[in-house]
Amino acid sequence: MAAADSVAVIGLGRFGTALALELMAAGTEVLGIDGDEDIVQSLNGRLTQVVRADSTKEEALRQLGVHEFDRAVVGIGTDIEASILTGSLLVNFKVPNVWAKAISEPHGRILDQIGVHHVVYPEHDMGRRVAHLVRGAMLDYIQFEDDFAMVKTVTPVELVGRRLGDTGMRARHDVTIVAVHRKGEGFTYATADTVLDEGDTVIVAGRTASAERFAQLR
CATH of the domain at 18: 3.40.50.720
Same domain, yes or no, for 31 and 106?
yes
95 vs 71: CA distance, rounded Å: 6
pLDDT given for residue 194 in this prediction: 93
In which domain, by residue range, is 171 found?
125-216
Alpha helix (H) residue ranges in 43-197: 58-63, 80-92, 105-113, 122-135, 169-173
Same domain, yes or no, for 29 and 109?
yes
pLDDT given for residue 136 in this prediction: 64
Last residue of a domain, one of 120, 136, 168: 120
Successive 10-residue mean pLDDT values, the chain, 218 residues = 81 95 95 97 97 97 96 93 98 97 94 96 80 73 83 91 90 93 89 92 91 85
In this prediction the pTM is 0.72
- 39-42 contacts, C-beta under 8 A, 24 or more apart: 39/12, 39/13, 40/12
Same domain, yes or no, for 89 and 132?
no
Total domains, the chain:
2
Last residue of a domain, one of 120, 139, 163: 120
